[in-house]
Structure 1
Amino acid sequence: QTLIIAIAEATEIKLKKTQINRSSILKKAEDFYFSNLKSYITTQDLCEELKISQRTLEYIFKDYYQMSPQKYFKNLRLHALHKELQHKDKQGNLSEITQEFGFYHRGQLARDYHKRFGEFPSETFRR
């Protein structure tokens, strides 16, 4: 019985440390993404920055966000683009702005943007 209690306590401590470590990795990943919203960041770039394996990174994101790191970053960029397109004093044309956020395939962007916001980038831009 003492052995079972000792194992249970040790496992609980290990789980808490793992959770703290995962939270720390996730925070660093989010900071890196937010600092690079207008850059093309691959999963490999992020893994190198955080010094972790791609498998570990993907597991953490799936556990917290139920999506891959790349999908998470794409969603961040979509929201940043949406905010920029809503901005009253926008500079440049729609194509320049979308490319600034790393969206080069206009058809795919239109589908993803419409799915997320219920309108096309051009509609948001014109308002």
Structure 2
Amino acid sequence: MIAGGPEISDDFVIEAQGRVIGKAGFWRLPEIGYILHPDYWGRGLATEALTAVIDHVMTTRDIDAVTADVDPANAASIRLLTGLGFEQTGAASRTWRVGGVWMDSLYFGLDRDRWKSRKTP
């Protein structure tokens, strides 16, 4: 987060009761990223945080869309993103190496118009 710099990054910590429990934002615009301590999963905090950071970047940056790269096995992240209006835009094999094991990616996107229409009653 610190190394990103404000011209390419817009990242925020997530706090609960004075304790840092995660982060949400854009380490490298326009790709969104997030992590939340497992003790706080299932409480809607990730949805709340991502809604806030997407609103922030859509109003303060001149970008037309945000993207995400998700492990296909991470069903919770896929539900989170699709619940926020992201649509799958592609897939690729062997894109990340984690602990010596190659992982695949699903790619998602959310454009400004879709974000605005999702928020309009």
TM above 0.5, yes or no, is: no
What TM-score bracket applies, with the shorter chain setting the length? 0.3 to 0.5
Larger radius of gyration between Structure 1 and Structure 2: 1
Bigger RCO of structures 1 and 2 (CA < 8 A, at least 6 apart): 1
The structure carrying a bigger strand percent of its residues is 2
The structure carrying a bigger helix percent of its residues is 1
